[in-house]
């Protein structure tokens, strides 16, 4: 079996969760004997199956080519629409109405109907696909996001020694941007008197400057650390609390990695995180500075059983996840 992966054309410049998901899925599938290649502008052929990661308008010509050649299309949707504001609710209602009268609200959503199978990362995401876009349930198969088991053996000393950090601290990892919500996180932590370490590059310079203006002497910015660098795993293991109070996550791979390293978790509930972390995380209202502050204080002091948490999260190993993915491929080819 040969599978072609399509990722956002500029995705690896920013390298977010979708790129990690595609890359780690490819590695695990190859270990199972499945040939995986990535689509490029120079690709002259595609595989027996084409697997898209995310919903992007520039995928449509490739998907239409696949449809014309009767090549099965799989889409990891990586989609979740927050409805916590009136404007978000209005948009969701508009999508519901337009989808049911045969008028998709945006060209990128055409991919949902061109696909043979959709692979959301959570039941919450699957529910939205059905309700917002009138997708038949038999077309949807939930495949969880994955995590590398190497994070369970992380050593905190490497990160502590490099950055001369000898106290407990809060960690946030991700692009510095509005969706990741570092501005509210910084504001929330200031009154706690606890060091905050943020690892990541700015996706928005304006937003980064706003974060810099309100930070105090206990907030530290560290540039992006490569995902394969042991220093990143060490940072997860070194922190007392990992905080990801994003406006939405589907869910954050960084939170899975930190949780597998044994850190206490504070995460957004928007996007299906409860299906993964259950009672092992503290959940915040990401639009409330007070909620973020109170949740971090709760997590900081709560009774913690890292071994039990690690065992729970091991079920989301990339191997386990891709066994399910390979099964979907085989079923699609049989049909």
Indicate the burial class of 288 (C-beta count within 10 angstroms; 0-12, 13-18, 19 or more). middle
Q: What band does 332 get if pLDDT is binned at 50, 70 and 90?
A: very high
149-315 has the same fold as 2-146+317-334:
yes
Confidence check: pLDDT of 112 > 90: yes
Write b or e for each residue in 37-64: b if 16 or more Cβ atoms lie within 10 A of its Cβ, otherwise e.
eebeeeeeebbebbbbbbbbeebeebbe
96: its two tokens: 């519901």
Closest CA to 245 of 287, 201, 211: 287
pLDDT at res. 91: 85
Model confidence over 65-105: pLDDT tens digits?
999 999 999 999 999 888 877 888 888 888 888 888 777 77
- Cα dist. 66→73, 114, 276 in Å? 7, 9, 33
Q: What DSSP string runs through 109-154?
A: GHHHHH-SEE--SSHHHHHHHHHHH---GGGB------B-GGGGG-
Give SS3 for 313.
helix
Task: Enumerate long-range contacts of 59-62, CB under 8 Å, 24 or more apart.
Answer: 59/6, 59/108, 59/111, 60/107, 60/108, 60/110, 60/111, 60/114, 62/6
Closest CA to 125 of 111, 113, 135: 135
Residue identified by tokens 């697997």 is 51
pLDDT at res. 250: 86
Model confidence over 143-179: pLDDT tens digits?
999 999 999 999 999 999 999 999 999 999 999 999 9
Give the mean pLDDT of the chain.
94
Closest CA to 253 of 229, 223, 231, 277: 277
Q: Residue 314, Cα to own-chain centre: how many angstroms?
A: 17
Mean pLDDT across the stretch 20-48? 95
- The domain segmentation of the chain, as residue ranges, is 2-146+317-334, 149-315
pLDDT at res. 100: 84
pLDDT at res. 166: 92
Contact 155, 237 (CB under 8 A): yes
Assigned CATH for 149-315: 3.40.50.2000
Model confidence over 205-227: pLDDT tens digits?
999 999 999 999 999 999 999 99
Confidence check: pLDDT of 106 > 80: no
219: its two tokens: 């907030």
Peptide bond before residue 251 is cis, with ω within 30 degrees of 0: yes
> Where do the H-state alpha helices sit in 164-316?
182-190, 205-214, 230-238, 253-260, 274-277, 289-301, 306-313
Contact 289, 309 (CB under 8 A): no
Mean pLDDT across the stretch 301-319? 96
Q: What band does 243 get if pLDDT is binned at 50, 70 and 90?
A: very high
Q: What band does 119 get if pLDDT is binned at 50, 70 and 90?
A: very high
Architecture field, domain 2-146+317-334:
3-Layer(aba) Sandwich (3.40)
Cα–Cα distance between 249 and 149 in angstroms, integer?
21
45: its two tokens: 């052929």
User: What is the pTM (predicted TM-score) of this model?
Assistant: 0.90
């Amino acid at each position: 079996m040969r599978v072609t992966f399509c990722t956002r054309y500029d995705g690896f410049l920013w390298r977010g969760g979708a790129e990690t998901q595609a890359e780690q899925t490819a590695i695990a599938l190859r270990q199972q004997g499945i040939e995986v290649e990535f689509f490029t502008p120079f690709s002259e052929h595609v595989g027996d199956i084409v697997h898209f990661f995310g919903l992007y308008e520039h995928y449509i010509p490739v998907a239409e080519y696949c449809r014309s050649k009767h090549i099965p299309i799989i889409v990891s949707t990586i989609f979740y629409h927050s409805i916590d504001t009136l404007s978000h609710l209005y948009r969701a209602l508009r999508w519901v109405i337009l989808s049911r009268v045969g008028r998709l609200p945006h060209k990128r959503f055409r991919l949902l109907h061109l696909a043979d199978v959709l692979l959301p990362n959570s039941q919450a995401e699957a529910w939205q696909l059905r309700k917002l876009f009138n997708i038949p349930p038999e077309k949807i198969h939930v495949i969880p996001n994955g995590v590398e088991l190497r994070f369970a053996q992380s050593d905190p000393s490497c990160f502590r020694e490099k950055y001369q950090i000898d106290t407990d601290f809060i960690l946030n990892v991700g692009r510095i941007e509005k969706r990741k919500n570092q501005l509210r996180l910084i504001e929330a932590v200031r009154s706690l008197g606890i060091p905050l370490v943020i690892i990541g590059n700015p996706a928005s310079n304006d937003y980064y400057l706003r974060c810099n203006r309100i930070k105090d002497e206990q907030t530290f910015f560290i540039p992006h650390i490569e995902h394969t660098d042991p220093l990143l795993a060490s940072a997860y293991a070194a922190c007392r609390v990992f905080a990801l109070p994003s406006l939405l996550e589907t869910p954050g791979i960084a939170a899975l990695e930190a949780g597998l390293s044994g850190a206490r978790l504070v995460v957004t509930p928007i996007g299906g995180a409860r299906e993964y972390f259950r009672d092992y995380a503290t959940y915040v209202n990401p639009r409330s500075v007070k909620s973020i502050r109170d949740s971090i204080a709760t997590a900081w002091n709560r009774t913690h059983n890292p071994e039990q948490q690690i065992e729970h999260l091991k079920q989301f190993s990339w191997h386990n996840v891709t066994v399910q993915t390979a099964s979907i491929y085989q079923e699609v080819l049989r049909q």
